[in-house]
Amino acid sequence: MSDELKQRKQTAVYVYEAPLRLWHWVTVFSIVTLCVTGYFIGSPLPSQPGEAIDNYLMGYIRFAHFTAGYILAIAFIGRIYWAFVGNSHARELFLVPLFSGKWWKEVGHELRWYLFLEKTPRKYIGHNPLGQLAMFFFFVLGNTFMIFTGFALYGEGLGAGSWADQWFGWIIPMMGQSQDVHTWHHLGMWYLITFVMIHVYVAIREDIMSRQSLISTMVGGWRMFKDDRPD
């Protein structure tokens, strides 16, 4: 990729296609909703006054959680589909070249850049190798884990024999019992929150300090390069 870049004279590349960008922001919305509602399912808000018949707070919170969960999961399936039919950058999240020495060297370079040991970062059209690695382990695996455990728990509410129970119910005995799955799902939320914190910080920082655009790319799809120097 760096060879390609050396000859490149253009300063903007179309990286993120519209469905991918839509997926990104739908996922953002879902994860925020899921974290807030999920937290309040674990530690509910103060008791509501009045009669039970006039209140449905937990019901609404859980409804929002389940709906956002469905949206997140369906969007993720769409994202996996897009990895097949979209451009090569759509595959970066799922295909990590873990056996490429060159790639690991670039991970090392990127790490040194983050430890302030490198003066200049490299240019990347898609994800930089460290970003790709983090996206895979934090997001792809974390998100998959949350979808699986989430639907296992959802299946408990739908009842034995429901589709969610049939597809994901096996997770419950695998992890011990229902309460253990709740605990893991809860820890998973914090895993994703940690990811979001780092993700947002790095995106803002890279947008300012690296040699290419980050935030505007996920809005408009175009990667702008700030200089014409080689990689």
Partner 1 sequence: MPQLETFYEVMRRQGITRRSFLKYCSLTAAALGLGPTYAPQIAHAMETKQRTPVLWLHGLECTCCSESFIRSAHPLVKDVVLSMISLDYDDTLMASAGHQAEAILEETIQKYKGEYILAVEGNPPLNEDGMFCIVGGKPFLDQLKHAAKDAKAVIAWGSCASWGCVQAARPNPTQAVPIHKVITDKPIIKVPGCPPIAEVMTGVITYMLTFGKLPELDRQGRPKMFYGQRIHDKCYRRPHFDAGQFVEEWDDEGARKGYCLYKVGCKGPTTYNACSTVRWNEGISFPIQAGHGCIGCSEDGFWDKGSFYERLSNIPQFGIEKNADEIGTAVAGAVGTAIAAHAAVSAVKRATAKGDQE
Calculate the dihedral angle through the C-alpha atoms of 137, 141, 143, 149, rounding to the nearest 10 degrees.
-140
The SS3 of residue 224 is strand
The SS3 of residue 223 is strand
Residue 179 or 216 having the CB closest to partner 1: 179
Return the residue of 11, 87, 179, 216 that touches partner 1, per CB under 8 A: 179
**Residue 61 interacts with partner 1 (CB under 8 A)?**
yes
Residue 76 or 184 having the CB closest to partner 1: 184
CA 32 to chain centre: 11
Residue 95 or 209 having the CB closest to partner 1: 209
**Residue 55 interacts with partner 1 (CB under 8 A)?**
yes
Enumerate residues 6+ apart whose C-beta is below 8 A from 86: 17, 19, 20
**Residue 169 interacts with partner 1 (CB under 8 A)?**
yes
At 151, list the tokens.
């639907």
**Residue 160 interacts with partner 1 (CB under 8 A)?**
yes
Return the residue of 187, 216, 219, 230 that touches partner 1, per CB under 8 A: 187
**Residue 73 interacts with partner 1 (CB under 8 A)?**
no
- CB-CB contact of 197 with 207 (8 Å): no
Number of residues interacting with partner 1: please give it, by CB under 8 A: 48
Calculate the dihedral angle through the C-alpha atoms of 183, 189, 190, 193, rounding to the nearest 10 degrees.
180
Positions touching partner 1 (CB under 8 A) are: 39, 42-48, 52-59, 61, 114, 116, 119, 156-157, 159-160, 169-170, 172-173, 176-180, 182-183, 186-187, 189-190, 193-194, 197-198, 201, 205, 208-209, 227
